[in-house]
């Protein structure tokens, strides 16, 4: 597993070697192309990725020069006309309409994300467009944030901060702001991949008693690393004191976390989601939290994003909501942008990408 720092250094070296390499490689590439290949970048990506594109000598690119506001759909459909490559982020829907607007020149879509539910894979496959994505490099950052969110939720840190700021902090009380601790607990993981393993590795020193998981099938190699036991979906719900959702959003997992799951969980359970908002039925989650069916929830992802400020979940003291920041470290986001840029350039050259989604 790559750490984000090691990955960034490696990706910087890769960018220098095959893409703007010594020995005139760039000159050769440019000789082979009558003009530089055209690329559209849908967001102001972190500087390492932009530097790789600029230094490659392989492409001319235009980007939506904002990090705050996504490119408007109407403008995106105009800008992609005739491009050879597209570097996007998860806010852009790469669907049939966009692919039709881009036209037959489009060879590669490189997304700066590990999730790909914003990509219409069948449409891309039908058109023979290759897809790059950015797994692994964000594992550490997402695992760290998941642990932070779990602790903030279970130990009621947001509530406590609010009380301290607003005058609620009175004399010491025996049960005021009591939460739930990890020692001797059972931690469940829904969807055991690299991120799930990394979360468990970070939680183990808290004296967790047992790790359990469920997935589409047992994953003994990954489970062995954390001594985790494979259980059914129902058993995951029943046994978990802390339940971390790490699965991808697919048709099978959409709203898999619903009343059926919450009704089987302990009243003292903490639910954490740092995967995709679409795996949770938010109305069912609200009811579970408001009724005390479960003790608390920590969410880094919601539907929609951003979640409207008047959404009922924001009214609950036992729900901590973050604005999708799990991978938001400088090192990780730069590594993601570097990987996305390298995937794009290698794909445009007809070479194997570092991380390609096989369609």
Q: 299: part of which helix (H) or strand (E)?
A: strand 296-299
Would you say 82 and 60 are in contact if contact means Cβ atoms under 8 Å apart?
no
The rounded distance, in Å, linking the Cα atoms of 157 and 212 is: 26
The rounded distance, in Å, linking the Cα atoms of 348 and 37 is: 8
Active-site annotation holds for 118: no
> Taking the CB of residue 167, how many other CB atoms lie within 10 A of it?
7
Which of 113, 92, 117 minimizes the C-alpha distance to 254? 117
Out of 162, 180, 311, 324, which one is annotated catalytic? 324
DSSP output for 63-124: E---SSSPPPHHHHHHHTTT-SEEEE-TTS-B-HHHHHHH-TT--EEEESSS--TTB-HHHH
Would you say 250 and 223 are in contact if contact means Cβ atoms under 8 Å apart?
no
DSSP output for 260-295: HHHTTS-TT-EEEE-S-GGGB-HHHHHHHHHTTSSS
Would you say 301 and 277 are in contact if contact means Cβ atoms under 8 Å apart?
yes
The rounded distance, in Å, linking the Cα atoms of 170 and 177 is: 12
**Residue 68 neighbours by CB under 8 Å, 6+ apart:** none
What φ, ψ does residue 253 adopt, rounded to 5°? -100, -5
Active-site positions read 324
């Amino acid at each position: 597993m790559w750490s984000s720092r090691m990955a960034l250094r490696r990706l910087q070296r890769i960018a220098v070697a095959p893409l703007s390499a010594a020995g005139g490689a760039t000159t050769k590439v440019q000789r082979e192309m009558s003009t530089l290949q055209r690329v559209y970048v849908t967001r102001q990506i972190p500087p390492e990725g932009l530097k790789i594109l600029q230094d490659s000598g392989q492409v001319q690119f235009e980007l939506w020069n904002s990090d705050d506001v996504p490119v408007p759909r109407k403008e995106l459909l105009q800008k992609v006309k005739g491009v050879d490559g597209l570097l996007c982020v998860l806010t852009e829907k790469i669907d049939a309409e966009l692919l039709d607007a881009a036209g037959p020149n489009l060879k590669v879509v490189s997304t700066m994300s590990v999730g790909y539910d914003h990509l219409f894979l069948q449409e891309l496959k039908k058109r023979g467009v290759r897809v790059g994505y950015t797994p692994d490099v964000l594992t550490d950052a997402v695992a760290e944030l998941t642990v932070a969110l779990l602790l903030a939720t279970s130990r009621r840190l947001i509530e406590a901060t609010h009380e301290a700021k607003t005058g609620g902090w009175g004399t010491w009380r025996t049960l005021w702001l009591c939460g739930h601790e990890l020692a001797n607990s059972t931690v469940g993981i829904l969807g055991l991949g690299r991120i799930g393993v990394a979360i468990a590795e970070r939680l183990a020193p808290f004296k967790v008693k047992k790790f359990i998981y469920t997935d589409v099938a047992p994953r003994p190699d990954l489970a062995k690393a954390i001594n985790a036991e494979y259980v059914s979906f129902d058993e995951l719900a029943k046994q978990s004191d802390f339940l971390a959702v790490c699965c991808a959003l697919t048709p099978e997992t959409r709203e898999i976390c619903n009343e059926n799951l919450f009704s089987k969980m302990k009243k003292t359970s903490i639910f954490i989601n740092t995967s995709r908002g679409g795996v949770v039925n938010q109305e069912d989650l609200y009811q579970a939290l408001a009724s005390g069916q479960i003790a608390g929830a920590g969410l880094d992802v919601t539907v929609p994003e951003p979640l409207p400020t008047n959404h009922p979940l924001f009214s609950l003291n036992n729900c901590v909501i973050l604005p999708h920041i799990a991978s938001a470290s400088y090192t990780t986001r730069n590594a993601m942008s570097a990987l996305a840029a390298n995937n794009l350039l290698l794909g445009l050259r007809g070479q194997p990408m570092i991380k390609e989604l096989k369609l």
